[in-house]
C-alpha cells in the first residue's frame, strides 16, 4: 500500500514537473521572440502555434489582447484625427473675422483706434492662429508638402513683409544678403538663391525664427537682423542672426524641446516653447538640419541647412 502511494505521488510530481518544463519552454520562447521585436505587440505573429494545446491557448490569449489593443489604438487615432480636423476648421473660420478687422482698420486709418496698435496685435493673433494650424498638421506633414526648387530670397522677403509693422515699432534694421559661393559676389536686398524645399513649410519655419527675434529683442537697443546664405560641406545654409538677449550656454541644447522656454522666456512671460519645437520637427520631416548658436547678451543665430 505504501509502495503504491509513493509511486502515485512520484507520478503526480513528475507530471507537474513535466508540465512546468513544457510551459517554461513556451514562455522562454515567447520572451526571446518578444525581446527581438521593436513592436512587442506583434509577438503572437512570430511564435508558432504548433506544439500542444497549452501553446495554442497561450497564443490565443495573446492574439485576443493584440486585437483589443489594436481596437483601442484605432479609437485614439480616430479621435486624434477628428481633433486635428476640428483645429484646422477652427483656424480657417477664425481667419475671416481677423481679416475683416484688418480691413476695417485699414479703411479708418485716421481714427484713434487705428493708431492704437491694434493692427499689430491682430497680426500677432494671426501668427498664433497660424501656429496652431501648422501644429495640427505637423503630425502628417508627409501628406502635405511638395519639394521643389524655390527662391529662398522671395520667401524671406514675404515673411519680413508680413511683420513689417512690428519691425518698424522696434526700429529694426533688417539686412538680407546672398553670397554666391562660387564667385563670392554679394547681392543685397534678398536676391534670389534657389534651394530645394517646400515653400509653405519653410516659410513658416523662417517666420517662427523671425518672431523669436522680435520677441527676444533688447529693450534698450534697436533690433538688428542679418540674414545671409553660406555653404557648408556643399550644402546651402540659411543664417538668421539677431542682436537680441541670447540664451544661456547651458540651455542651447534644449532649445528645440517642446515647451522649453529657457530663463529669458520665463522672465518675459511671452514664450510658449512651441515655435522652435515646430521648426525642428518640420525641418526633420523635410530632411533639413537646423541648429542654434547663441551667447547670452550677444544675440542668436539660427542656421537651416538644406
pLDDT in tens, 136-170: 777 665 667 788 999 998 999 999 998 988 898 88
- Pick out the chain residues at pLDDT < 50: 13, 179-191
Closest to 276 (Cα-Cα) out of 243, 300, 248:
300
pLDDT at 228: 93
pLDDT at 48: 63
Say if CB 47 and CB 59 are below 8 A apart.
yes
pLDDT at 74: 79
pLDDT at 149: 92
pLDDT at 180: 45
**239 SS3 class:** strand
Angle, in degrees to the nearest 10, between helices 118-137 and 275-285: 40
pLDDT at 29: 65
pTM over 0.75: no
pLDDT at 64: 73
Phi and psi torsions of 225, nearest 5°? -120, 130
Amino acid at each position: 500500500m505504501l509502495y503504491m502511494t509513493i509511486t502515485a505521488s512520484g507520478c503526480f510530481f513528475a507530471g507537474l514537473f513535466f508540465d512546468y518544463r513544457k510551459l517554461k519552454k513556451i514562455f522562454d520562447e515567447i520572451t526571446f521572440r518578444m525581446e527581438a521585436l521593436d513592436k512587442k505587440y506583434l509577438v503572437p505573429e512570430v511564435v508558432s502555434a504548433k506544439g500542444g494545446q497549452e501553446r495554442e491557448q497561450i497564443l490565443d490569449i495573446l492574439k485576443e489582447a493584440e486585437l483589443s489593443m489594436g481596437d483601442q489604438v484605432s479609437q485614439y487615432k480616430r479621435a486624434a484625427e477628428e481633433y486635428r480636423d476640428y483645429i484646422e476648421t477652427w483656424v480657417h473660420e477664425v481667419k475671416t473675422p481677423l481679416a475683416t478687422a484688418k480691413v476695417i482698420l485699414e479703411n479708418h486709418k485716421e481714427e484713434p483706434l487705428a493708431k492704437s496698435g491694434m493692427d499689430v496685435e491682430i497680426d500677432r493673433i494671426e501668427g498664433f492662429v497660424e501656429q496652431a494650424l501648422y501644429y495640427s498638421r505637423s503630425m502628417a506633414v508627409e501628406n502635405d508638402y511638395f519639394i521643389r526648387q524655390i527662391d529662398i530670397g522671395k520667401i524671406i522677403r514675404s515673411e519680413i513683409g508680413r511683420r513689417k509693422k512690428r519691425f518698424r515699432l522696434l526700429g529694426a534694421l533688417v539686412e538680407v544678403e546672398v553670397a554666391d559661393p562660387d564667385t563670392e559676389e554679394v547681392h543685397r536686398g534678398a536676391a534670389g538663391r534657389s534651394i530645394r524645399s517646400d515653400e509653405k513649410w519653410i516659410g513658416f519655419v523662417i517666420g517662427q525664427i523671425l518672431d523669436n527675434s522680435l520677441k527676444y529683442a533688447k529693450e534698450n537697443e534697436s533690433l538688428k537682423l542679418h540674414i545671409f546664405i553660406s555653404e557648408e560641406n556643399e550644402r546651402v545654409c540659411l543664417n538668421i542672426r539677431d542682436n537680441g538677449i541670447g540664451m544661456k550656454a547651458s540651455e542651447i541644447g534644449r532649445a528645440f524641446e517642446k515647451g522649453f522656454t529657457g530663463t529669458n522666456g520665463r522672465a518675459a512671460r511671452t514664450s510658449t516653447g512651441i515655435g522652435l519645437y515646430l521648426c525642428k520637427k518640420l525641418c526633420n520631416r523635410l530632411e533639413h538640419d537646423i541648429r542654434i548658436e547663441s551667447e547670452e547678451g550677444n544675440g542668436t543665430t539660427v542656421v537651416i541647412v538644406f
